[in-house]
Structures are given as structure tokens and as C-alpha cells.
Chain A
Amino acid sequence: QKEVEQNSGPLSVPEGAIASLNCTYSDRGSQSFFWYRQYSGKSPELIMFIYSNGDKEDGRFTAQLNKASQYVSLLIRDSQPSDSATYLCAVSGNSGGSNYKLTFGKGTLLTVNP
């Protein structure tokens, strides 16, 4: 069973701080990695995706990937109360032939305190 693990939280940070969200995955053949944000009662919204080892920055968000350690993280700089949400890590890999499964972790609840 291919798994994606996240700390459920809640992770609480003060406004303006850096929030660090972590994710590990079990399938070493995983190829693509995504971070989604989900506000309560809403649908998941794509924030970032990363394919290669290293860092990828987009505004206040930085995704980090380490395939050797099977670890992917999301850093949110200058956290704002509006960043308070559940962050979902998603991993895709080839399950055979043309079958690429997108598997989600259960998410980490982030609370940014004013």
C-alpha cells in the first residue's frame, strides 16, 4: 500500500513567522509531488508542485523535495491568518502501464495566530 504521511497537527504559528509543513511517502518510484490547501468546507486548491530534488519558490511558498529521504516539505514565509487551512500533500507514481495514481496524505491543519 503506497502511503503518504503527514502530521495531522494542529500546527500553530504566530503571524509573520515561517510555517513548515512536512510529508513523507513510501513509494520510492514516486515522480511528482503536489501541495494543496483546503479551507474548511471547501475543495482542495493547488498551491505548488515539484518534480526535482531541491527547492522551488513561488511568492511566499517554497516547496522542498528530497527523493533520497522520501521527504517533501512546504515552507510558508510571513504567515498570515488567511493561510490558516489544512494543507494536503499529494504524490503521484506509476502503478503499472499508464496507471498513475495520485495519493493524498490526510493533511496538516495550520493555524496562524494574529
Chain B
Amino acid sequence: DAGVIQSPRHEVTEMGQEVTLRCKPISGHNSLFWYRQTMMRGLELLIYFNNNVPIDDSGMPEDRFSAKMPNASFSTLKIQPSEPRDSAVYFCASSLAWTGGTPAFFGQGTRLTVV
């Protein structure tokens, strides 16, 4: 199994630009999570999907952030316009039949720097 695949691994962009992060979950997993990690705040859940449907997006910081999951094998997290405070590592994770009890497995992350 290839695991959760994220792209790009690193992204440097200028303030005001649009940024799109991509994630391919583990095949067969039906739940997908987007997390953001910073030194100050740790790992924060931004949004998660079950069967391609957003279940909880209460962690999305503001309207500049949006996430989609058009099919079971692909999700995107978009920031438009980006700001320096969005600089962080963004992780995607997936889980099989998430009802709170099954583990979530993480991708390698995207390190985003907004200058």
C-alpha cells in the first residue's frame, strides 16, 4: 500500500496568491482529514470527510480556506488569498470506516511558506 500521498511536499508562495494542496487517501479508506500543524497550536483539525461528504468544517479558520473531495481518491485544500500566518505544515490523513475508533494514517505533509 502506498499510504496517503500529498503534493506538493513544499510550497513557497507570495502573500495574496492562491495555494492548492492535494491529497490521495489510502485506497479503500472512506474518511479523510485535513490537519494544520504549527509550533504554537500543534495539530489542528481543519475539516474531515466521510464518503466524500464534509462532516465537520468547524476548524476551517476563515472563508479563505476551502476543501473539496470530488471522489474517494482525491481531495484538495485551497487557500485564497494566502497570508503569511497561513504558513504551517498541512497534513492529510485517512481512515477506514471512521466512527471514532479506527486509527487515522497520515501523509508526509505539505510545508507551506507564505512570504
Contacts and interface: CB of A to CB of B under 8 A. Distances in A.
Contacts of A92: 100-101
A10 to B, nearest CB: 14
Contacts of A44: 43, 91, 106
Nearest to B99: A100
Interface of A: 31-32, 34, 36, 42-46, 49, 51, 88, 92-95, 98-107
Report the 10 A-B pairs with minimum CB-CB distance, sorted nearest first.
A100-B100, A106-B42, A104-B43, A92-B100, A43-B106, A32-B101, A46-B103, A44-B106, A99-B56, A43-B109
A102 B104 contact: yes
Contacts of A45: 106
B50 interface: yes
Contacts of A51: 101
A103 B106 CA distance: 14
Given A31-B101, A43-B106, A44-B106, A95 B42 contact: no
A44 B103 CA distance: 12
Nearest to B105: A46
Nearest to A100: B100
Contacts of B52: none
Nearest to B98: A100
A102 B33 contact: yes
A107 B100 CA distance: 20
